[in-house]
């Protein structure tokens, strides 16, 4: 996938605004409903948000450090890497969400959660918007980040943004389905 860098960033900014607006809608629902699970081993709405917060705790500082230490200048085009494009596409929500195994340190099942979990997610997304703005000045191809499953695998920062933001979308779809 090749796309103009400014178009990619703008798309990701728009998706993040949509994610924030969706998250805000959950605040009008009772904490009891937000903690309800369809099955014992499925996640509640708040567990979906906590899962995203746990990933945000890794990726936001990682992205921030890489942007701040980047010595590269912005390039016109972003060309997704093979692995990065694969991970990003696999995160996009589909009609029937394919189940993925979650690492234990990112699995919030059984956590005691309240609406502050949603507020934390919203704050993380506002920070993500800030990082997307800052990323306009760097080369999205040459600046690379570690990923949560391995410090040894590096993705282009443009792909990292895609993976994280698409992952957020995926679990917001899941959270919405929990309530239905």
- pLDDT per residue over 72-104, tens digit each? 999 899 999 999 999 999 999 887 666 666 766
pLDDT in tens, 113-127: 999 999 999 999 999
Question: What is the rounded CA–CA span in Å between residue 94 and residue 173?
Answer: 9
pLDDT tens digits, one per residue of 16-39: 999 999 999 999 999 999 999 988
| Residue-range domains of the chain with CATH | 2-178 (1.20.120.450)
Q: How far apart are CA 126 and CA 176, in angstroms?
A: 21
Residue 100's pLDDT is what? 63
């Amino acid at each position: 996938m090749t796309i103009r860098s400014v178009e990619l960033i703008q798309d990701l900014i728009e998706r993040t605004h949509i994610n924030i607006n969706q998250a805000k809608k959950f605040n009008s629902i009772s904490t009891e409903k937000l903690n309800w699970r369809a099955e014992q081993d499925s996640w509640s709405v708040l567990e979906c948000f906590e899962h995203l917060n746990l990933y945000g705790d890794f990726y936001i500082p990682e992205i921030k450090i890489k942007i701040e230490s980047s010595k590269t200048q912005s390039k016109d085009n972003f060309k997704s890497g093979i692995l990065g494009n694969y991970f990003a596409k696999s995160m996009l929500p589909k009609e029937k969400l394919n189940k993925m195994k979650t690492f234990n340190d990112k699995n919030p099942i059984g956590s005691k959660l309240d609406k502050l979990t949603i507020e934390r997610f919203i704050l993380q997304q506002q920070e993500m918007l800030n990082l997307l703005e800052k990323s306009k000045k760097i080369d999205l191809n040459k600046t690379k980040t570690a990923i949560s499953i391995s410090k040894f695998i590096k993705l282009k920062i443009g792909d990292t943004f895609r993976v994280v933001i698409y992952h957020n979308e995926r679990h917001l779809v899941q959270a919405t389905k929990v309530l239905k």
